[in-house]
Structure 1
Amino acid sequence: MTSDRLALPDTALAAYLEQHVAGFRGPLTSSKFKGGQSNPTYLIEAASGKYVLRRKPPGQLLASAHAVDREFRVLEALRGSAVPVAAPLHLCRDENVIGSMFYLMQFVDGRIFWDPSLPEVAVGDRAAYFDAIIATLAALHTVDPAAVGLGDYGKPGNYFARQIARWSEQYRASETQPIPAMEALIERLPARCPADDGRVALAHGDFRIDNLMFDPATPRVIAIVDWELSTLGHPLADLGYFCMALRLPRNPALPGLGGLDRAALGIPDEATILARYTELTGQAMPADWPFVLAFSFFRLAAIAQGVAKRAQQGNASSEQAMQAGQMTALLAQLGLKVLG
Structure 2
Amino acid sequence: MDPAGTDLASLTPLAGGWSGQTFLAGVAGEQSVVRIYADPGLRGAAAHEVDAALLRLVRGLVPVAEVLEVRRADPATGMPALLVTSHLPGERGDLLLPTLDAPARAELGARLAGILADLGGMPFLRSGPFVDGDLRIGSFWPDGQDVDGLPAYVDLATPQLGWWTPDELDGLREVAVDAQALLDTVGRVCLVHSDFNPKNLLVDPQTLEVTGVLDWEFAHAGHPFTDLGNLLRFERDEDFTGAVLAAYADRRGTPPADALALARAADLWALVDLATRRSANPVAAAADVLLREVARRRDPGAVPA
Alignment of 1:140 with 2:119, yes or no, is yes
Residues 325/274 of structure 1: CA separation in 2 closer, same or farther (3 Å cut): closer
Structure 1 vs Structure 2 CA RMSD: 3.8
1:179 & 1:65 partners in 2: Cα distance?
36
Alignment of 1:232 with 2:221, yes or no, is yes
Please report how far the alpha carbon of residue 69 of structure 1 lies from its aligned counterpart in structure 2 after TM superposition. Answer: 3.4
Aligned match of 1:274:
245
Please report how far the alpha carbon of residue 133 of structure 1 lies from its aligned counterpart in structure 2 after TM superposition. Answer: 1.0
3-state SS, counterpart of residue 86 of structure 1 = coil
Q: Which 5+ residue runs of structure 2 have no aligned equivalent? A: 126-132, 140-146
Please report how far the alpha carbon of residue 291 of structure 1 lies from its aligned counterpart in structure 2 after TM superposition. Answer: 5.9
1:167-203 CA-partner distances (Å, limit 9, x unpaired): 875x579x48533487446633552212253212111
3-state SS, counterpart of residue 232 of structure 2 = helix
Please report how far the alpha carbon of residue 50 of structure 1 lies from its aligned counterpart in structure 2 after TM superposition. Answer: 1.0
Contact 2:24/2:34 (<8 A) preserved: yes
Which amino acid in the other structure matches residue 268 of structure 1?
F
Aligned match of 1:250:
none
1:26 & 1:151 partners in 2: Cα distance?
29
Alignment of 1:74 with 2:54, yes or no, is yes
1:212 & 1:164 partners in 2: Cα distance?
32
2:22 & 2:57 partners in 1: Cα distance?
21
Q: Using structure 2 for the length normalisation, give the TM-score.
A: 0.73
Aligned match of 2:21:
40
1:1-45 CA-partner distances (Å, limit 9, x unpaired): xxxxxxxxxxxxx8x625xxxxxx646730111221246321112
1:242 & 1:152 partners in 2: Cα distance?
26
Aligned match of 2:290:
331
Aligned match of 1:112:
92
Please report how far the alpha carbon of residue 134 of structure 1 lies from its aligned counterpart in structure 2 after TM superposition. Answer: 0.9
1:330 & 1:206 partners in 2: Cα distance?
19
3-state SS, counterpart of residue 24 of structure 2 = strand
1:206 & 1:235 partners in 2: Cα distance?
13
Aligned match of 1:199:
188
Aligned match of 2:12:
31
Q: 2:164 aligns with which of 179, 187, 190?
A: 179
Aligned match of 2:128:
none
1:37-86 CA-partner distances (Å, limit 9, x unpaired): 24632111223521112234549x6676994432222102112x221111
Residues 62/285 of structure 1: CA separation in 2 closer, same or farther (3 Å cut): same
Q: 1:94 aligns with which of 73, 91, 99?
A: 73
Contact 2:106/2:244 (<8 A) preserved: no
1:265-306 CA-partner distances (Å, limit 9, x unpaired): xx3344x43232011123456859546414414513523644
Percent identity, aligned pairs only, is 23
Q: How many residues align?
A: 279
Please report how far the alpha carbon of residue 230 of structure 1 lies from its aligned counterpart in structure 2 after TM superposition. Answer: 1.1
Which amino acid in the other structure matches residue 226 of structure 2?
A
3-state SS, counterpart of residue 247 of structure 2 = helix
2:63 & 2:154 partners in 1: Cα distance?
28
Residues 328/138 of structure 1: CA separation in 2 closer, same or farther (3 Å cut): closer
Which amino acid in the other structure matches residue 108 of structure 1?
L
Contact 2:37/2:80 (<8 A) preserved: yes
3-state SS, counterpart of residue 233 of structure 2 = helix
Contact 2:16/2:200 (<8 A) preserved: no
Contact 1:112/1:213 (<8 A) preserved: yes
Aligned match of 1:211:
200
1:47 & 1:295 partners in 2: Cα distance?
45
Q: Which 5+ residue runs of structure 1 have no aligned equivalent? A: 1-13, 19-24, 248-261, 312-320
Please report how far the alpha carbon of residue 165 of structure 1 lies from its aligned counterpart in structure 2 after TM superposition. Answer: 5.3
1:131-181 CA-partner distances (Å, limit 9, x unpaired): 1111121122223458xx9774467xxxx9556756875x579x4853348
Alignment of 1:293 with 2:264, yes or no, is yes
Contact 1:298/1:332 (<8 A) preserved: no
Please report how far the alpha carbon of residue 326 of structure 1 lies from its aligned counterpart in structure 2 after TM superposition. Answer: 3.0
2:36 & 2:98 partners in 1: Cα distance?
31
Which amino acid in the other structure matches residue 32 of structure 2?
Y
Alignment of 1:84 with 2:63, yes or no, is yes
Aligned match of 1:221:
210
1:35 & 1:66 partners in 2: Cα distance?
23
Contact 1:154/1:231 (<8 A) preserved: no
Aligned match of 1:21:
none
Contact 2:71/2:81 (<8 A) preserved: yes
